[in-house]
Each structure stands twice: as structure tokens, then as C-alpha cells.
């Protein structure tokens, strides 16, 4: 700075940036105003102070502490005002990236459909149909169906069939058969020949169930109102007041039966046609309402068969045919053809030793169906149950099977064991009237009393006696009430067999008789798979053991009997009151459709009640059979200090029957 310059003024050459051309006619203050610069002033900083570059000595006004800041978009628009801006930004981004977004969404939806639907049977069936699922009867060159005589290896050519509804015999099922076409798929697991079944014949649904319809058996209590026979209350009288005794006449039908069926959508084989646009729960509510209405119709105006009485009479008839005295002393020839259930029961009680055997001609077997309060009975359920009764009882040349229905009462406010009215309420809403004589009730509360003290903690606060976890415990209770049976089948309501039931049951029972007692049941831990060398060797090689061959099996399962430890089975952790816990030697079989002997049922009952031990129902009888074949141990069901061990018929024989199973897609 020169000493001759005015006060407060500096040399322009020092104040002006070199990049700005200097006009000699402008003063220093004018330059500062024009370029918005403030003349630079040096700032002295002491040794103890930090330099402050954004202070009053700065030449940039916006860095000065007192200078007003420029407001942001959020400050100008506010929170609500920012919403349209954000939406515009999102729309702009979507417009730029729409192709990528569409690709990702499409790929994600496709992956989701595959992940969540490939496990559904319907999806697999659509994807892997090998044959047309609709049955087509084989035709000859003239277009005539090729038919063969249905084969029944169990039923003799001549036998005295027991009478059915209206005193008439029920025809044998199936009504017809056809050669199995070459396009029919092969059973992926199991084999017909091993269990004595015929794989050279096929049948249609109508040939299987046509003889069991309401129309075929002349059963009227379930017909729609428009198809009911006209009763007395449908008579029409004239309105002449001078006629003291008006004569009624029936209203003539305005349409034929066939026209009425078509209008109602009613088929004697399939019942009322379902509208698949209606949700399943709504359709089931309609089925329950129709069932209650049918069950309460006047018995004098409709026909309801009593299958209980028909089966009891058939059992008495079979005893009489063998010369067993059913009215007086056992062993004397029968002199009467009039048979009642009470006389048959008396003969059973007096001749228990002779009748309780394993001979197919004398053994007594019960097939127990599992149902529940409010079960929605479909037409197929009713036809299937009539088939079981007709084929296993009325048309059985040996000792008839007895068919029973175990109904679980879930309403805890109903006293079905002491109140006739409560029993009637459950029957009306839960079982077709023709089957009321087959019903036995049970409740979870009843099982809690019978098998008190069973330990265990389970998911969803379940108890050890719940029907979901201990599904065979109700069967144990049934056997305690009906000890006249040698064998009891546990059978689910949704199981079907495409053929005559007697052929199937006698076939798997004969297979079980031929099998030896296999220690550990290791032979039965896998399915039989044709054309697989290891499987063929396991199932078709001559047995090394001979013990138990020719004897009835105490347990026949329809699924492999495997060791659940380390298998990934969901209930492998459910081991209650066994010292070794999950390391306990066990066996399991998925599904509870199986036959159990009276001895095994007694063991299931006593180990639950006395030893307080329990497993999930799919591992319960199979594990008891395994433990019966092992040495007595404190770790097992039969321990040395147990008083009940010495009175049981140990060991037990367990068998898995390799029946054929079909799939609608190829096996890989």
C-alpha cells in the first residue's frame, strides 16, 4: 500500500483480480459494486486462535454468519407439497425403467407359481398326464364294448348270498369288466400278483357302484322332493261344502321322472350335480342340511334299509350253514332257519373258543370307519359304504365282516352317552339314517378318563389323547366295548378300492399269512418297485425265516414300516415316557389304514394305561410289534418289572402288504 493514497483506499492494481480488465476511469468502490466484491482485508490471527475462513473478512457474502441462507424445496413447499413431487419422481423413474420392472415381476410371478403349486396333485396331474383320465371302454372292430366275466378269486361260483334291502340279494360288484388296455399305466409301486389281485381287467365307475344306487336298491328316503313317491298328504280334495265325504285324488305328475331328473341335475349314480362356482364350505353346508332333512322324513312314507339288522341276520345265517347251533347248546346242528342277532350273540358267547380262530371261515373281523360330528356325506361316500357292507358281509362266503362307524363327537356340551336326545341330534346331523345301527360314539374327554396320566407337551396345547395325535386310541376303546372280534381294521372314510373289496382284503390277508415273522420288520422298510434289482431281490426272494409262516399277522399295514430316527418324519420327536427318548428303537408307517389283532389291541391298551407310555399313532402299533420281538428292556414297552408282560401273546407278527399304487405321471 502506498503512503500517498487516500485513507481507506487501496491501490486498484492490488485489489482487482488479474482476470478482470481494469477500466482506468472507474474507482475502486465502483469496481467492488460492479463485481460484487468487497475489497480484501487481511485478517490477523493470534497464535491461540484457529483461523476462521467464513467470517466478516470473507469476500463471499453467502459465507458470512449473518447472511440470509437460500431456502430448500422442502422449506418452500412443506411436507404435503413434497408428495406430488415424490410421485412425479416415482412416475418418471417407472417410465424410464418399465421394461426392467415388467421383466422382474413376470419372472417373480412365474417362480412363485412353480414353487407354491408344483406340490399340488392337481398341478402334477395337469403336467404329467400319460393317458386320458376319462375311462374309455375298449371296443372291438365293430364298435361293441369288449367285455369279460368279472373274476372274483375269493368268491366261489355257487354260494348262498344273504338278502339285502327289500329281501333281495345285492348283485356282485363289478357288474362287468373289460380287458385292461395297453395304454393303461403300470403300477409304479406294489404288485397285483404278490397280493393275489387281477391286473388284466378294468372297470368303469358305473360298473363298480351302479348296483348300490338308491334307484337300484329302491331306497327312497334320500330322493329329492320332486321324485318322492306320492304320499297320502299329497292328496287333493274338492271344495264342495255339500260333499260330506270328499274323495281325494293324487295330483298327476306334470313331467316324467327323466325330465324331472334333468331339470334338477340329479343322477342316481352321482346325486345332485354340484355347481363348482359355489365354494366348498357352502356346498358342504348344503349337504349337511339335505342330510338332516332326509333323516327326519316320515318312515311310513319312505323306505330306509336297516343295514345293521341285515348284517346280523347274515352272520347268523353263515353260522347255521356250518351246522353251528345258534339257539341252544353249541355244537348241536341247527334246526331252525329263523336267526336273530341275540341268538347269534349267545352262540358267540358260548362258543368263543371255537369261533375265535384264524381260519377265514371262522375268524371274526370288524372294519371300523372313522368319521366325526358334522361330516358332509357325499353320494360317493354312501355308495362306498354300501359296497363295503355288501361285499364284505352280505356277499361274503366265509364269516362276514362287520362294518362299524366310529363318530367323534366334538361338541363338549352334548351328553351322547346318557342322553337319547343328544344322540339323536348327532345322528340326524352326521350320519345317513340307513347307517345309524353301525355307529359308536366317542369323545376326547372319554379318552382322557380311560388313559389318564399320559405325559407329554405338544404343539397348540394338544393333549396326549387328542384325536389328531392319538388317532388309534379311539379304536382301542372300541375294542374294549366289542371284544367279540379277532381282528379290527382301522379304515378312513376317503379310501377307495377300484374293484371288489373282498378280493382286496382277502388278498392282502393271504399274503400276510404266507409271510414269516421277520425280526425287526426290516424287509418292509421300502416300497416294492418293479424292475429295480434290489427291490425285486428283497420282495421276491424265498424267505430265509420260516417262523410264523402260515399264521395270521397281528398287524397288516398298507405302507412301508420304517425306522423314523433320522428320517425327517414330522413326528419323530414324539416319544413320551420312554427312558431313551428319541433314541428309542421304533418303527412307523405313514397312514393308519391297517389291520390289528385282538392281542395287539390289548397291548396298545395296557401299555397306554399301565405303563403310561405313548407315541404318535402312526408309530404306536408298529413300535409295539418291534418291541415284542426284542429282549425285555427297561427302555422298551415291555420291561421286566411290568406285570402285564407275561400274559400277552408275544412276539407279534407285522407285515406290510405291497399292494399296487398308481400315479398319473411317469416315475423318474
Task: Label the pairing between strands 487-492 and 365-372.
Answer: parallel
pLDDT tens digits, 353-363: 343 445 666 78
Beta carbons of 168 and 215 less than 8 angstroms apart: no
Per DSSP, 46 falls in state -
What is the spatial distance between Cα 386 and Cα 395, in angstroms, rounded to a whole number? 12
Cell of 263: 331339470
> Which H or E run includes 117?
helix 73-117
| pLDDT of res. 194 | 93
| pLDDT of res. 146 | 78
User: Grid cell 427318548 — which residue?
Assistant: 581
Closest CA to 615 of 398, 455, 449, 379: 455
| pLDDT of res. 110 | 86
User: What is the Cβ-side half-sphere exposure of residue 98, based on CA atoms within 13 angstroms?
Assistant: 5
What is the spatial distance between Cα 467 and Cα 454, in angstroms, rounded to a whole number? 14
C-alpha pair distances (Å), 474 with each of 370, 375, 397, 609: 9, 17, 30, 13
C-alpha pair distances (Å), 168 with each of 95, 102, 265, 501: 79, 69, 29, 20
| pLDDT of res. 308 | 97
Closest CA to 491 of 507, 512, 475: 475
Low-confidence stretches of the chain (pLDDT beneath 50):
1-10, 12-14, 16, 31-32, 34-35, 53-60, 62-63, 119-133, 231-233, 328-357, 667-668
Cell of 384: 362306498
| pLDDT of res. 69 | 53
Helices within 451-568 (DSSP H only): 473-481, 501-514, 533-540
> Is the CA virtual torsion 638, 642, 644, 650 positive or negative?
positive
3-state SS string for 49-98: CCCCCCCCCCCCHHHCCCCCCCCCHHHHHHHHHHHHHHHHHHHHHHHHHH
pTM of the complete model beyond 0.85? no
Cell of 502: 373282498
User: Grid cell 342316481 — which residue?
Assistant: 268
Per DSSP, 272 falls in state E
Beta carbons of 193 and 407 less than 8 angstroms apart: no
| pLDDT of res. 134 | 53
> Which H or E run includes 29?
helix 28-34
How many angstroms separate the most distant Cα atoms in the chain?
160
Residue 596 phi/psi, 5-degree rounding, is: -125, 140
What is the spatial distance between Cα 619 and Cα 194, in angstroms, rounded to a whole number? 25
User: Grid cell 366334538 — which residue?
Assistant: 410
Select the CATH number that applies to the domain covering 358-656 from these four: 3.90.550, 1.10.3470, 3.30.2310, 1.10.10: 3.90.550
Task: Label the pairing between strands 365-372 and 402-408.
Answer: parallel
Give Cα 517 to chain centroid, integer Å.
Answer: 32
Closest CA to 656 of 461, 551, 518, 478: 518
- How is the chain split into domains, by residue range? 1-68, 78-128, 220-295, 358-656
3-class DSSP state of 404: strand
Helices within 257-367 (DSSP H only): 257-264, 280-295, 307-321, 341-350, 352-355
> Which H or E run includes 656?
strand 654-656
CB within 8 A of 55, min separation 6: which ones? 43, 64, 65
What is the spatial distance between Cα 385 and Cα 523, in angstroms, rounded to a whole number? 34
Per DSSP, 162 falls in state P
CB within 8 A of 534, min separation 6: which ones? none
Beta carbons of 543 and 516 less than 8 angstroms apart: yes
| pLDDT of res. 143 | 73
| pLDDT of res. 255 | 62
Amino acid at each position: 500500500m502506498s503512503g500517498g493514497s487516500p485513507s481507506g483506499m487501496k491501490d486498484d492494481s492490488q485489489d482487482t483480480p488479474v482476470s478482470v480488465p481494469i477500466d482506468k476511469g472507474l474507482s475502486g468502490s465502483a469496481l467492488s459494486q460492479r463485481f460484487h466484491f468487497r475489497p480484501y482485508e487481511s485478517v490477523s490471527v493470534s497464535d491461540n486462535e484457529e483461523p476462521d475462513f467464513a467470517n466478516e473478512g470473507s469476500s463471499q457474502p453467502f459465507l458470512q454468519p449473518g447472511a440470509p441462507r437460500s431456502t430448500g424445496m422442502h422449506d418452500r413447499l412443506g411436507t404435503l407439497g413434497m408428495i406430488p413431487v415424490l410421485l412425479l419422481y416415482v412416475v418418471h423413474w417407472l417410465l424410464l425403467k418399465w421394461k426392467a420392472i415388467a421383466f422382474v415381476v413376470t419372472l417373480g410371478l412365474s417362480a412363485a407359481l412353480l414353487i407354491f403349486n408344483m406340490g399340488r396333485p392337481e398341478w402334477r396331474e395337469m403336467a404329467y398326464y400319460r393317458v386320458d383320465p376319462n375311462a374309455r371302454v375298449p371296443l372291438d372292430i365293430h364298435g361293441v364294448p369288449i367285455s369279460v366275466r368279472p373274476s372274483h378269486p375269493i368268491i366261489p361260483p355257487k354260494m348262498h348270498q344273504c338278502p339285502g334291502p327289500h329281501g333281495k340279494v345285492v348283485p356282485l360288484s363289478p357288474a362287468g369288466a373289460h380287458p385292461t388296455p395297453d395304454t393303461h399305466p403300470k403300477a409304479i409301486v406294489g404288485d397285483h400278483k404278490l397280493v393275489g389281485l387281477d391286473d388284466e381287467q378294468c372297470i368303469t365307475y358305473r360298473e363298480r357302484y351302479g348296483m348300490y344306487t338308491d334307484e337300484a336298491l329302491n331306497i327312497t328316503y334320500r330322493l329329492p322332493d320332486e321324485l318322492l313317491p306320492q304320499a297320502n298328504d299329497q292328496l287333493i280334495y274338492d271344495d264342495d261344502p255339500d260333499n260330506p265325504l270328499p274323495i281325494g285324488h293324487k295330483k298327476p305328475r306334470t313331467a316324467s321322472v327323466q325330465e324331472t331328473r334333468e331339470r334338477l341335475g340329479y343322477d342316481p349314480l352321482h346325486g345332485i350335480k354340484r355347481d363348482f362356482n359355489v365354494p366348498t364350505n357352502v356346498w358342504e353346508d348344503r349337504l349337511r342340511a339335505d342330510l338332516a332333512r332326509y333323516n327326519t322324513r316320515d318312515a311310513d312314507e319312505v323306505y330306509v334299509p336297516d343295514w345293521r339288522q341285515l348284517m346280523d341276520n347274515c352272520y347268523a345265517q353263515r353260522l347255521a350253514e356250518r351246522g353251528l347251533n345258534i339257539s341252544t347248546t353249541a355244537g348241536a346242528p341247527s334246526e331252525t332257519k329263523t336267526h336273530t342277532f341275540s341268538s347269534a350273540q349267545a352262540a358267540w358267547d358260548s362258543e368263543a373258543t371255537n369261533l375265535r380262530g384264524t381260519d377265514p371261515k371262522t375268524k371274526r373281523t370288524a372294519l371300523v370307519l372313522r368319521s366325526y360330528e358334522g361330516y358332509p356325506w357325499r353320494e360317493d361316500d354312501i355308495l362306498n359304504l354300501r359296497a363295503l357292507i355288501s361285499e364284505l358281509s352280505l356277499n361274503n362266503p366265509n364269516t362276514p365282516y362287520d362294518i362299524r362307524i366310529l363318530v367323534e363327537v366334538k361338541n363338549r356340551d352334548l351328553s351322547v352317552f346318557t342322553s337319547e336326545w343328544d344322540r339323536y341330534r348327532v345322528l340326524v346331523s352326521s350320519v345317513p339314517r340307513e347307517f345309524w345301527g353301525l355307529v359308536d360314539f366317542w369323545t376326547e374327554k372319554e379318552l382322557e378318563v380311560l388313559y389318564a396320566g399320559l405325559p407329554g407337551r405338544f404343539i397348540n396345547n394338544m393333549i396326549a389323547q387328542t384325536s389328531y395325535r392319538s388317532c388309534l386310541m379311539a379304536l382301542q376303546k372300541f375294542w374294549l366295548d366289542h371284544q367279540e372280534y379277532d381282528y379290527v381294521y382301522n379304515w378312513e372314510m376317503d379310501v377307495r378300492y377300484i374293484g371288489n373289496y373282498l378280493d382286496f382284503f382277502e388278498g392282502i390277508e393271504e399274503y400276510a399269512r404266507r409271510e414269516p415273522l421277520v425280526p425287526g420288520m426290516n424287509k418292509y422298510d421300502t416300497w416294492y418297485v418293479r424292475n429295480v434289482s434290489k427291490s425285486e431281490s428283497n420282495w421276491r426272494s424265498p424267505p430265509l425265516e420260516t417262523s410264523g409262516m402260515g399264521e395270521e399277522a397281528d398287524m397288516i399295514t398298507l405302507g412301508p414300516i420304517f425306522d423314523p430316527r433320522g428320517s425327517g418324519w414330522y413326528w419323530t420327536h414324539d416319544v413320551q415316557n420312554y427312558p431313551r427318548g428319541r433314541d428309542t428303537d421304533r418303527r412307523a408307517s405313514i397312514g393308519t389304514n391297517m389291520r390289528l389283532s385282538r392281542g395287539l389291541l390289548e397291548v396298545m391298551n395296557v401299555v397306554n394305561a399301565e405303563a403310561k407310555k405313548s407315541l404318535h399313532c402312526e408309530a404306536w402299533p408298529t413300535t409295539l410289534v418291534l418291541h415284542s420281538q426284542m429282549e425285555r428292556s427297561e427302555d422298551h414297552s415291555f420291561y421286566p418289572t411290568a406285570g402285564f408282560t407275561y400274559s400277552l401273546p408275544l412276539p407279534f407278527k407285522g407285515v406290510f402288504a405291497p399292494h399296487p399304487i398308481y400315479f398319473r405321471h411317469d416315475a423318474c
